[in-house]
């Protein structure tokens, strides 16, 4: 699965521009029983092996946060805005790639040229710029257009169980691609959603179209296991297993489904962790309130430095999420 995660991490798929990852997913799953809707969500249908008349939906988003070109200055620098909730403080001097072809670096004034106050404050996106080495506006315009998406240019790497790369917010695309190979107990819709990072927009339309009985939402979650995160806050920890979520910013997991999932995890000895209220959000907020309501639960992989160009996860957590979701797919307990 690590190879799969590497490839997904290095495909650029910023919200609204998930085309490249969609192509990658098509190559992986083929075209049979696969559909794409107008928002660009991919829906893969697998017939259930049991005769029960229940529909299960597995949801994971395929988009990542990034930047978009808003203007080109007279001296050939690019101005940009964030797509999704990018951690601004992490941007300065990072390598980027514009429209998948032009290399650039997020620049700022040399430290020698900064006043004392400037050194101590955090820049806003408006004050930052991207340098592609163009000598003026005219030259820059040859390579870059307003509205081009800008991706972080981070190489994936692996050190034992620790995986590092960009776009690991949507790491669950990898386990879901593997999960599609299993024969589920129920009729199952595997959904790769678009535009989650800008407000669950893809999930909004696909859940009401499918109208499932149950939904399992797979996502990443902020890891809180470093100094500065006081011990009374969220307790997500890298390497402690899949996180079974009770509630996030926009959703509360179904209580019965939650206790079923915990039973399955215990029975199969899958490492898991629990947390009260997660500050971030997953597609669950739209999925569970769609149509006449959907019983849903969110499972997630802790990610350090989420929404930045360099993120870190533990392979074992992804494995635990895969094992738990597989046990749910194979079970008759829902």
Partner 1 sequence: MMELLKKLTQTDGVSGNEKNISNLIYEDAKKYCDEIKTDAMGNLIVHKKGGSKKVMISAHMDEIGIIVSFIDEKGFIRFSNIGGLYTKQLIGRRVRFQNGVVGVIGCEEEEFDKKAEISKLYIDIGAQNRDSAQKLVNIGDMGAFCGEFYQNGDTVVSKALDNRVGCYILLEVMRDIKTDNDLYFVFSSQEEVGLRGAKAATFDISPDYAIAVDVTDTGDCPNAPHNSVKLGGGAAIKVMDRSVLCDASVRSLMIEVAKENNIPYQLEIMADGGTDAGAMHLSRGGVKTGGISVPTRHIHSPSEMVNEKDIKNCISLLKAVLEKL
By CB under 8 A, name the binding residues for partner 1: 208, 213, 230-235, 246-247, 250-255, 258, 274-277, 288-295
The distance of closest approach from Cβ of residue 107 to partner 1 in the complex, given in angstroms and rounded to an integer, is 36
Q: For residues 165 and 226, what is the distance between their CA atoms, to the nearest angstrom? A: 19
Q: For residues 202 and 40, what is the distance between their CA atoms, to the nearest angstrom? A: 7
The distance of closest approach from Cβ of residue 176 to partner 1 in the complex, given in angstroms and rounded to an integer, is 22
Query: Token match 């179209």: residue?
Result: 209
Cβ pair 140, 130 in contact under 8 A: no
Number of neighbours of residue 213 by Cβ within 10 angstroms: 15
Q: Which residues contact 134 (CB under 8 A, 6 or more apart)?
A: 76, 77, 140, 142, 143
Environment class of 255 (CB within 10 Å of its CB; exposed 0-12, middle 13-18, buried 19+): exposed
Cβ pair 278, 247 in contact under 8 A: yes
The distance of closest approach from Cβ of residue 46 to partner 1 in the complex, given in angstroms and rounded to an integer, is 22
Q: For residues 190 and 179, what is the distance between their CA atoms, to the nearest angstrom? A: 9
116 or 230: CB nearest partner 1:
230
The distance of closest approach from Cβ of residue 169 to partner 1 in the complex, given in angstroms and rounded to an integer, is 22
Strands 214-222 and 295-303: parallel
**Could you say which DSSP state residue 212 is in?**
-
105 or 252: CB nearest partner 1:
252
The distance of closest approach from Cβ of residue 135 to partner 1 in the complex, given in angstroms and rounded to an integer, is 50
Nearest Cα neighbor of 80 from 109, 60, 102, 106 is 106
The distance of closest approach from Cβ of residue 86 to partner 1 in the complex, given in angstroms and rounded to an integer, is 24
13 or 57: CB nearest partner 1:
57
The distance of closest approach from Cβ of residue 261 to partner 1 in the complex, given in angstroms and rounded to an integer, is 12
28 or 246: CB nearest partner 1:
246
63 or 254: CB nearest partner 1:
254
69 or 261: CB nearest partner 1:
261
**Calculated CA dihedral for residues 8, 13, 15, 16, nearest 10 degrees:** -130
């Amino acid at each position: 699965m690590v190879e799969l995660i590497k490839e997904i991490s290095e495909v650029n798929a910023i919200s609204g521009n998930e085309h490249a990852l969609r192509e990658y997913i098509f190559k992986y799953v083929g075209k049979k029983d696969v559909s794409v809707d107008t928002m660009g969500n991919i829906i893969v249908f697998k017939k259930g092996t049991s005769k029960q008349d229940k529909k299960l939906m597995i949801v994971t988003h395929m988009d990542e946060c990034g930047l978009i070109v808003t203007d080109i200055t007279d001296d050939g620098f690019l101005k940009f805005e964030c797509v999704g909730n990018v951690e601004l403080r992490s941007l300065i001097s990072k390598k980027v790639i514009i429209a998948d072809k032009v290399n650039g670096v997020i620049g700022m004034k040399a430290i020698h040229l900064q006043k004392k106050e400037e050194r101590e404050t955090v820049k806003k996106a408006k004050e930052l710029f991207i340098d592609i080495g163009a000598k003026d506006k005219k030259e820059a315009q040859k390579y870059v257009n307003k509205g081009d998406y800008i991706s972080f240019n981070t190489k994936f790497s692996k050190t034992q169980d620790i995986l590092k790369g960009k776009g690991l917010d949507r790491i669950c695309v990898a386990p879901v691609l593997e999960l599609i190979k299993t024969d589920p107990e129920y009729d199952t819709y595997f959904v790769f959603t678009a535009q989650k990072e800008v407000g669950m927009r893809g999930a909004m339309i696909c859940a009401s179209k499918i109208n499932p009985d149950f939904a399992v939402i797979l996502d990443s979650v902020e890891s809180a296991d470093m100094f500065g995160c006081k011990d009374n806050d969220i307790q997500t920890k890298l390497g402690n297993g899949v996180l079974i979520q009770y509630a996030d910013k926009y959703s509360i997991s179904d209580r019965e489904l939650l206790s079923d999932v915990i039973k399955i995890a215990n029975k199969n000895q899958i490492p898991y962790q629990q947390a009260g209220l997660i500050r971030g959000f997953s597609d669950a907020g739209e999925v569970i309130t769609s149509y006449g309501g959907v019983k849903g639960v969110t499972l997630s992989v802790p990610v350090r430095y989420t929404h930045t160009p360099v993120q870190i996860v533990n392979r074992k957590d992804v494995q635990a999420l895969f094992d738990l979701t597989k046990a749910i797919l194979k079970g008759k307990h829902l």
